Amino acid sequence: MHKMTTGSTRKTIPYLDTIIFLAIISLFFGYLGANMGISNMFSTIMSTAYELLIDTVFYIMAIAVLTGAFGKLATEFGLVKLLNKIFSPLMKPLFNMPGVAFLGVITTYLSDNPAIISLSKDDDFLSYFKKHQIPCLCNLGTAFGMGLIVTTFMTGLGFFKEALIGNIGAIIGSVVSVRIMAYRTKKVLPEEPEKKMKNKRDIDIEDNIIEHAQGSFFERFLTAFLEGGKLGVDIGLSIIPGVLVICTVIMVLTFGPADPSIGYQGKAFEGVRLLPRIGEFLSPILKPLFGFKSPEAIAFPITALGAVGAALSLVPKFLESGIIGSNEIAVFTAMGMCWSGFLSTHVAMLDALGYRKLISKAITSHVIGGLVAGISAHFIILFLNFI
């Protein structure tokens, strides 16, 4: 009898998923259609996606190509290795991680979250870590993912100081995230080194991981420049689904009619202002913690949870509408870097590291880290304005 019940339950799961899916889709489009009208709703969705593709995605792709080329050149000609030598001594006091973990910071900052996985597959690299520290690489790498792209994007809009403050906030958030994760993993994993190696101290980990191409200076420069640029194109293409799908949905839920006196016209960037209502409800919390002057600003951190590229797409429209200022740019930079779409990458990254059972611990630790990053950036701005 028990077996029959179990089998029956398993058979109903697909139908339950289908019902939930249909309910969510019906609720979403029903709510939009009831407020905007069916024709205006579809016109707005298509127009918004098109405007995002032309005006924002290609701009971000251009930034990704340039930063990708620079990142590859920095690796090819030893800048990454030099930075690792300089900043490795900070890893122990800040993160309680081996100095070589700074390689993970650099590689993800110059590219994206999953770059840390390539390092984690190197036995020489892992030999410097204790067992409980290895899952923390996921949080460490994610906290700096797409950092150069986010920083360059904000700087390109004329907010250099705010982008720099946002980087400081992201560092603070990353320390919190990694420290919390390490505290939690220490309870379930041993502290012994992952793999003991002979003459480990004599191994130059940077030379083992960073290999330079053969050839003249010009050949190496040109090869690295083109390969890095190609990586930037790949990043630019990879963010298109996130920007067009996630950001379109967020914008439709954020903005109102282009002209409230006329009503909905089916134009791009019109919406039903649902998120601002939620933001107004949460404003007693958001205002003192992040300093958001408009409830619509909540859309950025929500979007950054899934895709930081999509979150960046919101910024130009927010600036144009006067919704955000310098404080929000600093907070957005900090949270965008620290979270950098981790909900869409954390599971796969931890699975690749071999610690799928720690996914919930990693996600909750990183949520806290991202919040601390945004709060830190806000209070740094307040302090600088005060002095």
Token pair for 241:
């689904």
3-state secondary structure the chain: CHHHHHHHHHHHHHHHHHHHHHHHHHHHHHHHHHHHCHHHHHHHHHHHHHHHHHHHHHHHHHHHHHHHHHHHHHHHCCHHHHHHHHHHHHHHHHHCCCHHHHHHHHHHHHCCCCHHHHHHCCHHHHCCCEHHHCCHHHHHHHCCCCHHHHHHHHHHCCCHHHHHHHHHHHHHHHHHHHHHHHHHHCCCCCCCECCCCCCHHHCCHHHHHCCCCCCCHHHHHHHHHHHHHHHHHHHHHHCHHHHHHHHHHHHHHHCCCCECCCECCCCCCCCCCHHHHHHHHHHHHHHHHHCCCCHHHHHHHHHHHHCHHHHHHHHHHHHHHCCCCHHHHHHHHHHHHHHCCHHHCHHHHHHHHCCHHHHHHHHHHHHHHHHHHHHHHHHHHHHHHHC
Alpha carbon of 141 to those of 91, 152, 221: distances in Å? 13, 19, 27
Cβ contact 169:328 at 8 Å: no
Token pair for 16:
């339950």
225, burial (CB in 10 Å: exposed 0-12, middle 13-18, buried 19+): middle
Single pTM value for the model: 0.79
Distance CA 63, CA 231 (A): 12
Q: What pLDDT does residue 258 have?
A: 84
Residue of 276, 323, 281, 324 whose CA lies nearest to 302: 276
Distance CA 122, CA 120 (A): 5
20, burial (CB in 10 Å: exposed 0-12, middle 13-18, buried 19+): exposed
Say what the alpha-carbon torsion angle 245, 248, 253, 254 is, to the nearest 10 degrees.
140
Q: What pLDDT does residue 250 have?
A: 84
Q: What pLDDT does residue 64 have?
A: 79
pLDDT tens, N- to C-terminus, the chain (387 residues): 444 444 444 455 667 888 899 999 999 999 999 999 999 999 999 999 998 888 878 887 888 788 778 877 877 887 777 777 788 888 989 999 888 888 889 888 987 787 787 777 767 777 788 888 999 999 998 999 889 999 999 999 999 999 999 999 999 999 999 999 999 998 888 665 545 444 444 445 555 555 555 678 888 888 888 888 887 788 778 778 877 888 788 889 888 898 888 889 999 889 898 888 888 888 888 889 999 989 989 999 988 987 888 899 899 989 998 999 999 999 999 999 999 878 777 877 787 788 888 989 999 999 999 999 999 999 999 999 888
Q: What pLDDT does residue 191 have?
A: 60
For Cα atoms 379, 382, 387, give the angle at the middle one, nearest 5 degrees. Answer: 125
For 276-306, give one letter per residue: b (16+ CB within 10 A) or e: beebeeebeebeeebbbebbbbbbbbbbbbb
What is the dihedral sign for C-alpha 294, 295, 299, 302?
A: positive
Q: What pLDDT does residue 163 have?
A: 96
Q: What pLDDT does residue 74 have?
A: 76
Cβ contact 267:288 at 8 Å: no
